[in-house]
């Protein structure tokens, strides 16, 4: 079998015509016979280039409103025939079927049509039949045919034509075949996810992939699958690392809790907030967030829910941080932040994030609905004789939002809408509470009048006892322990208020 083959014919049928003209002209210059259909055929003719209509090849017109154009043995026989199989060649001759060496085809924009909110019938019409069949046929027969299945491949294909003067190697055809099947599987996954209503199936597919510098550690390879450009405009800095992306994900999810609220600033390290405050200005919010833990803030990820102005940028610039995220920047603020060449500056766009989460586990995948419940006043159930004051309620709900987005077991301490400290990722709730109290004291926070949030219930009254002794006056927790009454009794005896939400917020 010849490793390289000179192409003699090409079938071109594409939805998107962008970038097609140079390819068509190059094929024509190489003397390659062109076959085409519908709008693509007209496009080629308008370039003054000779093209054979598929209808002339098949002796059948396009029928059923364009649903059937290329689905014919004279088309698929020419693509699927094995060039070194004598029986195949005899049948091609018998039925007057020309060999087709190049297939250039793309698919109807199904995902874009779904995203546009189109009616179901319009969406169904964007389920490609002919295109997907051509892609699979050409990719299957990569030993003899090259399949160009996306406009993103035009440049690489054009280079191949130029370098080989029309000759295409087996290795090149195989690479394009793999890409073709990646596109077809991604397309079918999108259709399945749209149509599937009841079956519990795991089907995820991403066309975009970024190779990261390394994974969690330098000896690990790392990749990101997805389109970051849909979520951020990267304005400055080095490429995001694997660990950066985990922190950015945690930061975005945390700040989503405060999107429509007063200026709020958060500082994260290892996926957890080490500082967070809400104030009348973004500058004061940043200053008070930094006070929460100026040590951990070093090398952290910073995120704001409002525009970052010049005075705030000047303060941020004093800190070594990996990433800064905001929905908007003043031009002079941006210039200041760009003063550190490696600092990553992201402009966050307003898009909806996925509603499901998944991660590998053992020899499979765990999938779940995202924790979409944010504790609010409607969930609060008075558990103690004393009900929290208005200020305490605001702080409790503020603390609960942080708690929901912190690694379990966690305890979060808040006062005046400022994170005083948190105990994160501890194996016991008591350890998390002790960690938070010690940390708050180390950074000179006065916990008298502060509130406490817990991601899960207290099985014993020791937690509220430690909290009370530290100065905590109000508590928010899910409740649900068979020994809830012990914690309630302690709070009643010591003039502490406590509310239950009925919602646990574990995060592992």
CA dihedral 122, 125, 126, 129 (to 10 degrees): 170
SS3 216: coil
| Of 273, 496, 303, 301, residue with least CA distance to 404 | 273
In this structure, the number of other CB atoms found within 10 A of the CB of residue 325 comes to 23
Residues 6+ apart with CB under 8 A from 48: none
Q: 3-state DSSP call for residue 126?
A: coil
Phi, psi of 303, rounded to the nearest 5 degrees: -145, 140
| DSSP code at position 68 | B
Sequence-distant (≥ 6) Cβ neighbours of residue 80 within 8 angstroms: 137, 140, 141
Catalytic residue, chosen from 140, 143, 307, 494, is: 140
Of the residues 42, 167, 186, 270, only one is catalytic, namely 270
For the purposes of burial, counting CB atoms within 10 Å of the CB of 260, is it exposed (0-12), middle (13-18) or buried (19 or more)?
A: exposed
Under 8 Å between Cβ of 381 and 479:
yes
CA distances to 90, 439, 454 from 405, in Å: 67, 19, 11
d(CA 276, CA 250): 13
Between strands 381-382 and 364-369, the pairing is unpaired
- Main-chain dihedrals φ then ψ at residue 302, nearest 5 degrees: -110, 140
CA 347 to CA 329: how far, in whole Å? 8
Residue 270: active-site member: yes
Are the CB atoms for 433 and 449 separated by under 8 Å?
A: no
Q: CA torsion sign, 317 to 322 to 327 to 329?
A: positive
Tell me how many degrees the CA angle 488-490-493 measures, rounded to the nearest 5.
110
- CB contact set of 489 (below 8 Å; sequence gap of 6+): 461
Assess contact for 486 and 461: CB atoms under 8 A.
Answer: yes
| 140 in catalytic set | yes
Q: Are the beta carbons of 460 and 482 closer than 8 angstroms?
A: no
Q: Which residues contact 413 (CB under 8 A, 6 or more apart)?
A: 399, 419, 420, 421, 422, 436, 437, 440, 445, 447, 450, 451, 452, 472
Opening angle at CA 190, ends 65 and 186, nearest 5: 100
Q: Active-site residues: which are they?
A: 140, 270
């Amino acid at each position: 079998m010849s490793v390289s083959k000179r192409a003699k014919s090409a079938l071109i049928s594409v939805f998107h015509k962008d970038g097609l003209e140079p390819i068509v002209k190059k094929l024509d210059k190489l003397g390659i016979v062109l076959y085409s259909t519908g709008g693509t055929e007209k496009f080629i003719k308008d370039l003054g280039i000779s093209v054979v209509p598929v209808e002339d090849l098949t002796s059948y017109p396009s029928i059923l409103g364009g649903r059937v154009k290329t689905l014919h043995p004279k088309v698929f026989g020419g693509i699927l025939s094995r060039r070194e199989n004598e029986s195949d060649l005899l049948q091609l001759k018998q039925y007057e079927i020309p060999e087709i060496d190049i297939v250039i085809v793309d698919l109807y924009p199904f995902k874009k049509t779904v995203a546009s909110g189109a009616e179901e019938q319009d969406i169904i019409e964007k389920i490609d039949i002919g295109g997907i069949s051509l892609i699979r046929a050409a990719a299957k027969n990569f030993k003899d045919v090259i399949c160009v299945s996306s406009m993103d491949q035009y440049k690489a294909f054009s280079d191949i034509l130029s370098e080989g003067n029309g000759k295409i190697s087996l290795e090149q055809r195989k690479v394009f075949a793999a890409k073709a099947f990646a596109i077809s599987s991604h397309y079918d996954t999108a259709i399945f996810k749209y149509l599937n209503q009841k079956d519990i199936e795991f089907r995820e597919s991403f066309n975009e992939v970024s190779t990261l510098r390394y994974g969690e550690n330098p000896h690990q390879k790392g990749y990101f699958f997805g389109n970051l450009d849909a979520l951020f405009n990267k304005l400055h800095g080095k490429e995001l690392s694997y660990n950066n992306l985990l922190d950015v994900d945690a930061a975005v999810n945390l700040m989503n809790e405060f999107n429509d609220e007063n200026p709020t600033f958060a500082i994260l390290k290892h996926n957890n907030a080490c500082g967070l405050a809400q104030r009348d200005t973004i500058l004061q919010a940043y200053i008070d967030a930094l006070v929460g833990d100026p040590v951990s803030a070093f090398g952290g990820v910073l995120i704001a829910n409002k525009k970052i102005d010049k005075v705030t940028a000047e303060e941020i610039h004093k800190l070594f941080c990996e990433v800064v995220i905001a929905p908007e920047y003043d031009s002079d603020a941006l210039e200041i932040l760009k003063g550190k060449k490696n600092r990553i500056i992201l402009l966050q766009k307003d898009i909806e994030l996925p509603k499901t989460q998944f991660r590998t586990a053992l020899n499979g995948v765990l999938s779940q609905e995202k924790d979409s419940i944010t504790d609010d006043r409607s969930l609060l159930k008075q558990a103690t004789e004393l009900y929290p004051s208005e200020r305490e309620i605001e702080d409790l709900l503020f603390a609960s939002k942080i708690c929901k987005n912190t690694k379990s077991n966690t305890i979060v301490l808040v006062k005046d809408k400022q994170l005083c400290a948190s105990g994160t990722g501890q194996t016991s709730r008591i350890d998390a509470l002790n960690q938070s109290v010690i940390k708050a004291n180390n950074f000179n926070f006065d916990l008298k009048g502060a509130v406490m949030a817990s991601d899960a219930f207290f099985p014993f009254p020791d937690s509220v006892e430690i909290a009370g002794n530290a100065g905590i006056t109000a508590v928010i927790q899910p409740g649900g322990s068979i020994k809830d009454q012990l914690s309630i009794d302690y709070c009643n005896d010591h003039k502490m208020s406590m509310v239950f939400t009925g919602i646990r917020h574990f995060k592992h």
